[in-house]
Amino acid sequence: MHTKLYIIGNGFDLYHGLPTKYSEFADYILQISPETLNICKYTLETNEYWCDLEKSLGELIPEDLIQDLEVHAPSYGAEDWSDSGHHDFQFEVDKILNSIVKELPVLLRNWIVGIENNFKYYYNSKRLRCIDINGLYLNFNYTCSLTKIYNISRNQVMYVHGESLNINSTLIYGHGYHHENDIKQLNRDYGCVNGEGDPRYEEVIHMIDSYFVNTKKPVEKIISENIIFFNNLNNISEIFVIGHSLSVVDLPYFVEVIRKTATNNVKWFVSYKFEQEKVSFWSKLIELGVSADSINFCNCDNLLTC
C-alpha cells in the first residue's frame, strides 16, 4: 500500500547536480543551432526556470511577428510586385513557427539524452532521506534520476511529460494560454473577416493559430490517459513537493491529486529555495483547497531531513 506521493519538479534534478536549467538548454541550442535560437527570439527569453520556457511559448506576440515580416507582403499594386512572391510572407512566418514547433522538440530530446548519457559525471552524490522507495512519484522531469539514484521502480513513476530514454515516449512541453479571443481580434485588426481581406494575412493568422494549438500542453489529455495512477492515490497520507514551481500550467495535476486524496487528512511537505517562494506556494495550495495547517515547508538546504 502506497502512503507517500512525491511530486517531482526540475529543482529535484538541479539539487542532484544535473544541468537542466532552461538557460543551459538555451546555451545548448546556441552551440548546436544558433539560427534556431535567433528565430525563437519571438517567444523565448533566457532564464533559469523551466516553467518560464513553457510560459513564454504562449507569449508569442503575433503583431511583432507580422510587422517584422510583412515586408515580404508588398502591395499587389507595387511596381516590383510579382506573382512568384505571393507566398513569400507565409513562407517566412512558417519558417519561424515551424522551428519552434518542430525543431525545438528534437533539440530538447538530444539535450536531455546527452545529460542522461553523462549522468555519472553530473551527479553530485547527494541523496534525500525523505525519499521512500515504496512511494508513488508524479514526475514532471524527463530524466531517469529517480531510478538511477534511488532505484525507484518504473511502475511507481508517472512521467507526466515523457521519459527521455524511452524512444516511444514523446517529450511534452507547452503553455496553458487560451488564445482564441486574440486570434479573433487579430483577424478583425487585419480585416480578415467573412472571407474578406488580404489572403496572405489570412493564411499567416491561421499559421499563428495553429502554432498556439500545437504548443499548448495537453494537460486534460495527460490526466485522462493516466487516470489509473491518480485512482491509486486513495491511501496517500503524505505528499512531498520537491523542486516544483507550481506553475499555473501544471496546477490541474495538483487539483486532481487533491481531489483523489481529499478525505485522507494529508500532510504536505513543500520544498522551496527562496523565502518569497513560500508565500507564493502557500497561496496557490490554499486556493486549490489544501488546509493551511497541513502545509509544511522545507528549505532546499534542509531536504535531507524533510
Domains and CATH numbers, the chain: 1-18+127-176+218-306 (3.40.50), 31-75+84-122+178-215 (no CATH)
pLDDT band at 306 (very low <50, low <70, confident <90, very high): very low
As a whole-number percent, the residues of the chain with pLDDT over 70 amount to 91
The SS3 call for residue 136 is strand
Q: How much is the average pLDDT of 27-53? A: 72
Measured at the alpha carbon of residue 299, what is the angle toward residues 297 and 305, in degrees to the nearest 5? 85
C-alpha cell at 44: 523565448
Query: Positive or negative, the Cα torsion across 144, 146, 150, 155?
Result: negative
For the chain, the residue count is 306
Query: Going along 31-179, which residue ranges are E strands?
Result: 136-139, 157-159
pLDDT digits (tens, 9 = 90+) for 182-200: 999 999 988 888 878 888 9
pLDDT digits (tens, 9 = 90+) for 88-124: 899 999 988 988 888 888 999 999 999 999 999 999 9
Check pLDDT > 60 for residue 84. Answer: no
C-alpha cell at 223: 490526466
Q: How much is the average pLDDT of 241-266? A: 93
Nearest to 247 by CA among 212, 275, 219, 214: 219
- pLDDT for 42 equals 66
Check pLDDT > 50 for residue 170. Answer: yes
Task: Classify burial at 302, counting beta carbons within 10 Å of its beta carbon; exposed 0-12, middle 13-18, buried 19 or more.
Answer: exposed
State the alpha helices, DSSP H only, in 140-297. 145-150, 180-189, 199-214, 219-225, 227-231, 251-260, 275-288
Of the two residues 257 and 104, the one the predictor is more confident about is: 257
| Cβ neighbours of residue 213 closer than 8 Å, sequence gap 6 or more | none
- pLDDT for 38 equals 72
Query: Going along the chain, which residue ranges are E strands?
Result: 4-8, 136-139, 157-159, 238-242, 267-272, 295-299
Check pLDDT > 80 for residue 48. Answer: no
Q: How much is the average pLDDT of 24-43? A: 80
Give the pTM: 0.89
Of the two residues 20 and 49, the one the predictor is more confident about is: 20
Distance CA 239, CA 261 (A): 10
Residue 160 has, within 13 A of its CA and on its CB side, a CA count of 26
Check pLDDT > 80 for residue 137. Answer: yes
